[in-house]
Amino acid sequence: MYNEIVMDHFQNPRNVGEIADASGVGEIGNVVCGDILRVYIKVKDEILDDVKYMTFGCGAAVASGSMMTTLAKGKTVEEAKKLTNKDVAKALGGLPPQKLHCSNLAADALHKAIEDWMNKTGKGDKLDG
């Protein structure tokens, strides 16, 4: 039911784990199934120097988290804020309709981690204004 890209990211997920001295952490729970995805970011000079994630979700959530980290890593905070759940699902080559809700965790959790970083550093005004 999953395509090759999804299977690859499910079986060899990229950037799984925690960042001990993370600049920001974000967590999202899936309202549909109750699964959780947590994202850690390390920001250097307003660039996402490192992005890691952990999930207690299904295979599609594992693949979505993995793809999100590869898309977000190296981007500026501003660029990463624009990354959507749809972008992640598209980069995965699509997900079966009943699994689309699983891809709604990764980008949202990333945005939460960015928010966390902005709150900690007081950068919110500067980035939004």
Chain residues that interact with ligand FES, rule: CB under 6 A: 30, 33, 35, 57-58, 60-61, 102
Identify which of 20, 17, 11, 14 has the alpha carbon closest to the alpha carbon of residue 88.
14
The pair phi, psi for residue 58, each rounded to 5°, is: -80, -175
The pair phi, psi for residue 64, each rounded to 5°, is: -65, -40
Closest contact distance (angstroms) between CB of 94 and ligand FES is: 15
Nearer to ligand FES, 15 or 64 (CB): 64
Nearer to ligand FES, 48 or 95 (CB): 95
Catalytic hit among 3, 12, 32, 33: 33
Q: Which helix (H) or strand (E) holds 67?
A: helix 59-72
Catalytic hit among 41, 67, 102, 118: 102
Closest contact distance (angstroms) between CB of 56 and ligand FES is: 9
Closest contact distance (angstroms) between CB of 95 and ligand FES is: 9
User: Annotated catalytic, 58?
Assistant: no
Nearer to ligand FES, 29 or 121 (CB): 29
105 Cβ contact partners less than 8 Å away, ≥ 6 residues apart: 28, 30, 35, 36, 37, 55, 57, 61, 64, 65, 85
Residues catalogued as catalytic: 33, 102
